[in-house]
Amino acid sequence: MLRDMINDGLKDSMKSGDKIRLGTLRLINAAIKDRDIEARGSGRQGGISDDEVLSLLQKMVKQRQESAGIYEQAGRMELATQERDEIAVIQSFMPKPLTEDEARAAIKTAIAETGAESVRDMGRVIAALKERHAGRMDFAKASGMVKEALS
């Protein structure tokens, strides 16, 4: 379970004194706990699933990539480096992303399985991809590829 891996990583980083990893893992745990509280408020017991944790990690990576870019433009290289270090820690808990060729093959398969014929069917294709490849595919890029394939 992803949540257990993160907690084990947290303990290991405490023992080793790795402050960047420790801080990042604490941020991840805080974000997971926030989502758990939201889920309980919605009537779901047991917290969020591993797929939702993966989605959360993807969002955290994306936020840090944007921040690093902004810091670089502002000439704040030390802050950009810190963001990139956090990205590396977060990505260590994520599955290896699909290559572009693997993504294209997955899109082709999803289009065939859903019977999609035009751009209007794009939602079904993306839903099928999210079901099978959560955490391994950048869906912003994938939606462009799906649109291109259906055009």
Mean pLDDT of the chain: 89
The domain 2-91: what is its CATH number? 1.10.1510.10
Instruction: Determine the Cα–Cα distance for residues 126 and 146; give it in Å rounded to an integer.
Output: 8
Phi, psi dihedrals of residue 115, rounded to the nearest 5°: 75, 25
Instruction: Determine the Cα–Cα distance for residues 104 and 135; give it in Å rounded to an integer.
Output: 16
Instruction: Determine the Cα–Cα distance for residues 58 and 64; give it in Å rounded to an integer.
Output: 10
User: pTM for the full model?
Assistant: 0.73
Q: What is the 8-class DSSP label of residue 95?
A: P
Determine what percent of the chain is predicted with pLDDT higher than 70. 100
pLDDT tens, position by position, 72-128: 999 999 999 999 999 999 999 988 888 888 888 999 898 888 888 888 888 888 888
Q: Which CATH architecture has domain 100-150?
A: Orthogonal Bundle (1.10)
Kindly state the tokens that stand for 121: 């069917």
Q: What is the pLDDT of residue 130?
A: 84
Numbered ranges of CATH 1.10.1510.10 in the chain:
2-91
Q: Are 133 and 106 in contact (CB under 8 A)?
A: yes
Q: Are 137 and 98 in contact (CB under 8 A)?
A: yes
Report CA dihedral (105, 107, 113, 114) to the nearest 10 degrees.
-170
Q: Are 145 and 106 in contact (CB under 8 A)?
A: no
Q: Are 6 and 29 in contact (CB under 8 A)?
A: yes
What's the whole-number mean pLDDT along residues 22-42?
92
End-to-end CA distance of the chain: 39
Numbered ranges of CATH 1.10.10 in the chain:
100-150
Instruction: Determine the Cα–Cα distance for residues 53 and 59; give it in Å rounded to an integer.
Output: 10
